[in-house]
Amino acid sequence: MKTWTRRSLAFGGFVVGSAIGLGAAKFTCGFISLTQSDNPTVVLLANLYPASDVVKLFGRTYLDQTGETAADSLRRIECHERIQRALSSRCPKVIFSALDHVSRADFHAGRTFCIDQWVMSQTELDVAAVCTLA
- Rounded least distance, CB 131 to another protein, Å: 17
Q: How far apart are CA 106 and CA 13, in angstroms?
A: 22
The dihedral through the CA atoms of 72, 96, 48, 4 has a sign that is negative
The binder of another protein chosen from 1, 27, 38, 79 (CB under 8 A): 1
What does residue 99 show for φ and ψ, rounded to 5 degrees?
Answer: -65, -40
Helix H or strand E encompassing 113? strand 112-115
- Rounded least distance, CB 33 to another protein, Å: 28
Helix H or strand E encompassing 119? strand 118-121
Instruction: Build a one-symbol-per-residue string for 16-55: x at contacts with another protein by CB under 8 A, - elsewhere.
Output: x--x------------------------------------
Select 35 or 117, whichever has its Cβ closest to another protein. 117
Q: How far apart are CA 122 and CA 110, in angstroms?
A: 9
- Residues forming the site for another protein (CB under 8 A): 1-2, 8, 11-12, 15-16, 19, 100, 103-104, 106-108, 110, 112, 114, 116-121
